[in-house]
């Protein structure tokens, strides 16, 4: 066979290469639309950490924020978008609602990422139960928040010679002194999820973690109608006397700002409040103190996680898998949690660089796991299905904003919970 001329052979070979290239589908451009409710100052900084990480890794981020702390508004948007056949690709979701959505068959399994990244070794078993459905990973946890924190302004407390109260009795005494001195004792935002946040810390503080579990997790009727529960509502009524007139419908971060500025002495809120302190350049544990809510003998757990709604477009599925991988990565878990106020969900990550409140959270978490006093937060959707949580929120808020007696509240609560189950 005559030898082909050198140039011709090169030409033919490059034509063949071009042909192969043309037949190869274009590389996917990982893209995700992310539905979240992180819109306060500290929360937005945290979400930016995530976004930048994703974009640095070549992803395209489409932001879909829904304002409103606690995420109740975001849940409504999610439901209507799914019904309209327009599910976002990545969605902030937690607790039992993860399994509820998984049972609808609309969540993408994350087992391949989980296996490649060794999630079995990284995620605490208590969280694995939450983020798996039928043995498959369907969500990726980004953090561990503690709900039962009392934030206090040391200068405001010092005006009445007080320290952060350790029991509800002490709390009432300190708050009474503050009120008499013209200082708002408790910064609060009157929204159902914020009322419920205080309520569950009172349940824990007055009843103890075993009682908390019976009443707010197992929904035991005896516990729900007990004298302890009557006392819980009595304490809620007392607390109502310690909030300022402008409390109604105030966002939680504005309440945090009141404590930062010394306009109020204390706030009961999860450690996302710390995200606001950090964003404002305050030193947590010094400028604003972090102690556990009065009488706490445990750790009220709230963990944010993301699920991926099944997508057909290959750019979207590539984006979802990339996001899932990054979210449990060391760099992201470190930077994100420093900003968010939480501690890493990646349990093997060292706590270097975290502030005093985060260190306490991490130690108390380990202690609570050992002592079996780690309890899922009812107010933050970790403990019971949405319908039951809704029943709690309705009664707690109705009681807080009226002169309903504690006995009536207990009766209504037990009825509402039974109906919602
Ligand atoms: C919680 C959520 C936190 C937080 C807070 C206020 O339920 O887990 O991440 O930011 O609501 O929006």
**Structural domains for the chain:** 31-145+302-371 (3.40.190.10), 147-301+377-420 (3.40.190.10)
Residue 204: name the closest of 124, 147, 252, 256 by CA.
147
141: Cβ below 6 Å to ligand 1? no
Which atom of ligand 1 is least distant from the CA of 252? 6
- Helical axes 386-400 vs 227-240, angle rounded to 10°: 60
Record the tokens describing residue 384, joined without a space. 């019971």
- Measured CA to CA, the distance from residue 206 to residue 204 in angstroms comes to 6
Query: What is the spatial distance between Cα 98 and Cα 75, in angstroms, rounded to a whole number?
Result: 12
Contact residues for 318 (Cβ-Cβ < 8 A; gap 6+)? 28, 29, 30, 31
338-397, pLDDT tens digit by residue?
999 999 999 999 999 999 999 999 999 999 999 999 999 999 999 999 999 999 999 999
Token pair, residue 46, equals 């945290």
Cα-to-centroid distance, 47 and ligand 1 (Å): 12
DSSP string computed for 122-183: HS-HHHHHHHEETTEE-EEE--BEE--EEEE-HHHHHTTT----SSHHHHHHHHHHHHHTT-
Instruction: Give Rg (Cα) of the chain.
Output: 25
380: Cβ below 6 Å to ligand 1? yes
Residue 8 in this model has a pLDDT that exceeds 50: no
Beta pairing, strands 299-302 & 145-146:
antiparallel
Predicted confidence band at 132 (pLDDT cuts at 50, 70, 90)?
Answer: very high
Q: Give the per-residue pLDDT at 412.
A: 98
**DSSP E strands: which ranges in 293-418?**
299-302, 305-308, 374-376
Let me know how long the chain is: 421
User: For 122-127, what is the mean pLDDT?
Assistant: 95
Are the C-beta atoms of 345 and 303 separated by less than 8 Å?
A: yes
Residue 179: how many other CB atoms lie within 10 Å: 17
Residue 7 has pLDDT above 80, yes or no: no
Distance separating the N- and C-terminal Cα atoms of the chain: 84
Under a CB-based contact definition with an 8 Å cutoff, are residues 242 and 186 in contact? yes
Whole-angstrom distance, CA of residue 189 vs CA of residue 254:
8
**pTM for the predicted model, two decimal places:** 0.93
Cα distance between residue 129 and residue 114, in whole Å: 14
CA-closest residue to ligand 1 atom 11: 70
Give residue 13's pLDDT band: very low, low, confident or very high (50, 70, 90). low
Average pLDDT over residues 135-140: 98
CB contact set of 85 (below 8 Å; sequence gap of 6+): none
Whether pLDDT at 100 is above 90: yes
Using an 8 Å Cβ cutoff, are 409 and 334 in contact? no
Q: Is the CB of 43 under 6 A from ligand 1?
A: yes
Nearest CA to ligand 1 atom 5: 70
């Amino acid at each position: 066979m005559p030898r082909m001329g050198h140039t011709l052979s090169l030409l033919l070979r490059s034509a063949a290469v071009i042909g192969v290239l043309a037949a190869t589908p274009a590389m996917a451009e990982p893209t995700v639309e992310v539905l979240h409710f992180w819109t306060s100052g500290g929360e937005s900084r945290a979400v930016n950490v995530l976004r930048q990480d994703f974009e640095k890794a070549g992803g395209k981020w489409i932001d879909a924020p829904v304002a409103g702390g606690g995420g109740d508004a975001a849940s409504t948007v999610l439901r209507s978008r799914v019904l309209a056949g327009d599910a976002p690709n990545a969605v902030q979701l937690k607790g039992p609602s993860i399994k509820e959505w998984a049972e609808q068959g609309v969540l993408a399994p994350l087992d391949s990422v989980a296996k490649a990244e060794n999630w079995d070794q990284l995620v605490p078993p208590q969280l694995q139960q939450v983020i798996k459905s039928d043995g498959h990973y369907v969500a990726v946890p980004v953090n561990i928040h503690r709900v039962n924190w009392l934030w206090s302004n040391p200068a405001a407390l010092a005006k009445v010679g007080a320290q952060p109260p350790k029991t509800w009795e002490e709390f009432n005494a300190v708050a009474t002194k503050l009120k008499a001195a013209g200082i708002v004792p408790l910064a609060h935002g009157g929204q159902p999820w914020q009322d419920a946040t205080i309520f569950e810390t009172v349940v824990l503080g007055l009843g103890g973690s075993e009682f908390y579990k019976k009443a707010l997790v197992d929904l035991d009727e005896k516990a729900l109608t007990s004298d302890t529960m009557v006392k819980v509502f009595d304490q809620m009524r007392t607390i109502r006397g310690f909030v300022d007139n402008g409390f109604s419908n105030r966002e939680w971060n504005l309440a945090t700002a009141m404590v930062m500025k010394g306009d109020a002495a204390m706030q009961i809120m999860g450690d996302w409040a710390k995200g606001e302190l950090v964003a404002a350049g305050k030193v947590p544990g010094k400028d604003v103190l972090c102690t556990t809510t009065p009488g706490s003998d445990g750790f009220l757990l709230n963990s944010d996680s993301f699920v991926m709604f099944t997508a057909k477009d290959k750019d979207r599925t590539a984006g979802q898998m990339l996001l899932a991988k990054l979210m449990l990565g060391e760099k992201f878990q470190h930077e994100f949690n420093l900003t968010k106020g939480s501690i890493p969900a990646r349990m093997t990550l060292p706590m270097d660089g975290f502030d005093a409140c985060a260190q306490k959270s991490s130690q108390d978490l380990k202690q609570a796991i050992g002592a079996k006093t780690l309890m899922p937060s009812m107010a933050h959707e970790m403990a019971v299905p949405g319908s039951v949580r809704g029943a709690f929120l309705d009664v707690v808020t109705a009681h807080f904003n009226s002169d309903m007696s504690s006995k009536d509240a207990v009766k209504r609560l037990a009825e509402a919970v039974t109906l919602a189950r």
